[in-house]
Structures are given as structure tokens and as C-alpha cells.
Amino acid sequence: MEHRTLGQQGLVVGAVGYGAMGTTFAYGPGDDTESIAAIRRAHELGVTHFDTAELYGWGTGERLLGTALAPIRDEVTIATKFGFTPETFAPNSQLDHIREVVDASLVNLGTDSIDLLYQHVHDPAVPIEDVVGVMQEYVQAGKVRYLGLSNTDEDSIRRANAVHPISVLQTEYSIFSRESEDLFPVVDELGIGLVAYSPLARGFLSGSVGPRSSYAQDDIRQFLDWWTPGHYEANTAVVAGLTELADAKGISLSQLALAWILAQREDIVPIPGSRNPGRVAENVAAAEITFTEDELARIDALGHGVRGKRAG
């Protein structure tokens, strides 16, 4: 698989990464054995970058990913994130809380060093300079290698980067969700790489989307605006158009969605999530797909029909 450079501090990863959120959070109950097989299949196929967070099961997700990657720890990079309060899901980047969470992440992941540590979400109650100051302590102690931000704004990115170089901005980005293009100028200026989360629009761009009634009660799609009645029908029409394009090219809808992201910039890495080894293989194969300018323009035009806000 092609490798991509994220930021200017030396982080290099396979062009398609793996997002482990769904193994323990957001998409209903999973099967740990199958999830571990999916993670290991990703690695066998050339994926080197694996993404998790404290939030994804309050340690459970990190432990599952750590177990899956233990035999191949030296061949991969692991990203995790801090920044929420378990009881309320409210942003929490209080400095002592960061230290507690990062110390626990190291234990949960079974590693001496986290390759990429993100602040998961902007916390208006704590100056970003102080947050990055604590993150930097971990770099200086050799317990974190690179720093990232997620779900934040231009001002915070600039202020954070002035304290310590930020290697990656992780932001929601897909054919369905293009709002973060507003941040492309600042990441270009500062030399920050991009990780695209929810690149399959939480499964809407996967070819197996269903209405809200087809998902478990605790599935996040019960609450997402793309699934709101009215939006759902408009969005399935967009998907039908994209599927026609994919069929004509002999690729799957998921592959079209991921290859479209890879085609937008040289320094972007999508992290699709799947708990199934076969679907992981399908997604990873997107790294080999390229488009003509005409195909990209047709995808963009179809994308204008998307209705509903991203989850944020």
C-alpha cells in the first residue's frame, strides 16, 4: 500500500487506516473475536495506522485494540484521544483529567508509547495552550510521539501549534461531509496532515445502509440527521447515483467513497471502521483506485444532493 506523510514531524502511515470506534461504541453490540480478526486482517493487507479513543467504551476499546495489535506492535502506529467526562459525555480537558486519561490509555493499550495523541474535542473551559502544554509533557517523557487535534477550530489549531507542532487534524470528511474543507487553508499553511473520520458517512456510503428502524436502539444512527425521514430518502437517491458510477467502474460504493477522499489531497488518510474482516479487505483495496477528472466532477455533483447535517 502507498504510504502518506502526516505533518512535518515524521509520521508516515499506510494510505488507508483503520478506525476502531465501532468495535466497542456507537454501532450496537459487536463480537470481540471478529473485531480482533478484522483488525489483524487490516494489518495483513498493509494498514499501519489504527485509531481509538478513551471514549470508545471508556477503556474497553483501547484494551481490545491493544490486544489485537500486541503481536505486531512494532509494525503499526496507534492513535488515541482524551477529552470527555464519562458520566456526561461533556468536553473535559482539565489538566489533571488529561493526565489521568493518558496514563490509563498507556495501560489499556499495553504500550510504553502512544504514537499519536489527540485532544478529542475542543474544551472552551481550558485554554488550548495549557492543554497542549500537558500533551507536550508526555512527548518530553517519551510516552507520546506526535500530537493531534480533533473537532476544533482555526484559532485553536493556530494557538496549539504555536506551543508544540501539531502533526494531524482529525476531522469528519467524506462525500457526505465537506464542512472541514474550510480548515484546509490553515492546515496547509501550518503543514498539518489530515485524518478523515467517518469516511463512509457512518455506513451511509457503504452499500448496506438501512432506515433507522433497521438499527439497534443504542446505534448512533438513530440520532443522526442523514437518517431523518425526508433526508434519508434524498440521501439514498445520492447513494444510488454514486453506486451507478461505482458499478460502471467495477468497484464497490465503499471503495468509491474512500478513493474519493484519497484523491482530494496527498496528505489525507481515511480511517474507515469495520468489525468484519471481509469488509476491511474491501475497504483497504480502495488504496489502489484512482479517478479521472470527469469521474471526480460527477461525484462532486452528486454529493451536492446530500441532505442533513453531519454529527459533529
Ligand X SMILES: NC(=O)c1ccc[n+]([C@@H]2O[C@H](COP(=O)([O-])OP(=O)(O)OC[C@H]3O[C@@H](n4cnc5c(N)ncnc54)[C@H](OP(=O)(O)O)[C@@H]3O)[C@@H](O)[C@H]2O)c1
For residue 40, how many C-alpha atoms fall within 13 Å in the half-sphere facing its CB? 14
DSSP string, 167-192: -EEEEE-BTTB-GGGGGHHHHHHHT-
Q: What are phi and psi of 307, to 5 degrees?
A: -120, 135
Grid cell listed for 209: 445502509
The least CB distance from residue 207 to ligand X, in Å, is 5
User: Which listed residue (102, 148, 283, 310) binds ligand X by CB under 6 A?
Assistant: 283
The least CB distance from residue 162 to ligand X, in Å, is 22
Dihedral angle of Cα 213, 218, 222, 223, to the nearest 10 degrees: 170
The least CB distance from residue 273 to ligand X, in Å, is 3
Q: What is the DSSP letter of 212?
A: G
203 binds ligand X (CB under 6 A): yes
45 binds ligand X (CB under 6 A): no
Region of 65-73, 132-140, 193-201, 297-305 interacting with ligand X (CB under 6 A): 193-201
Compute the chain's Rg from CA coordinates: 18
274 binds ligand X (CB under 6 A): yes
Query: Which residue is catalytic, options 18, 56, 146, 197?
Result: 56
E strand or H helix at 260, and its extent? helix 253-264
User: Which listed residue (148, 207, 277, 308) binds ligand X by CB under 6 A?
Assistant: 207
If the CB atoms of residues 116 and 190 are measured against ligand X, the closer one turns out to be: 116
User: Which listed residue (6, 11, 21, 239) binds ligand X by CB under 6 A?
Assistant: 21
CA distance 252 to 230: 25
284 binds ligand X (CB under 6 A): no
Beta-carbon neighbour count of residue 187 at 10 Å?
A: 23
Region of 6-14, 177-185, 259-267, 271-279 interacting with ligand X (CB under 6 A): 271-279
Dihedral angle of Cα 228, 231, 232, 237, to the nearest 10 degrees: 180
CA distance 261 to 255: 10
254 binds ligand X (CB under 6 A): yes
User: Which listed residue (14, 57, 199, 277) binds ligand X by CB under 6 A?
Assistant: 199
Q: If binding means CB under 6 A, how many residues of this protein chain bind ligand X?
A: 30
CA distance 124 to 146: 23
If the CB atoms of residues 161 and 171 are measured against ligand X, the closer one turns out to be: 171
For residue 295, how many C-alpha atoms fall within 13 Å in the half-sphere facing its CB? 19
User: Which listed residue (14, 57, 273, 308) binds ligand X by CB under 6 A?
Assistant: 273
Q: Distances in Å between the alpha carbon of 12 and those of 1, 5, 184, 277?
A: 12, 4, 20, 24
27 binds ligand X (CB under 6 A): yes
User: Which listed residue (85, 208, 214, 222) binds ligand X by CB under 6 A?
Assistant: 208
- Per-position x/- string for 142-181, each x denoting binding to ligand X as judged by CB under 6 A, each - no binding: --------xx------------------x-----------
Residue 197 is a catalytic residue: no
CB 68 within 8 A of CB 76: no
User: Which listed residue (11, 15, 16, 19) binds ligand X by CB under 6 A?
Assistant: 19
Query: Rounded to an integer, what is the distance from CA 216 to the centroid of its chain?
Result: 22
Active site (catalytic) residues: 56
Q: Which residues of this chain interact with ligand X, rule CB under 6 A?
A: 19-22, 27, 51, 120, 150-151, 170, 197-203, 206-208, 254, 271-276, 279, 282-283
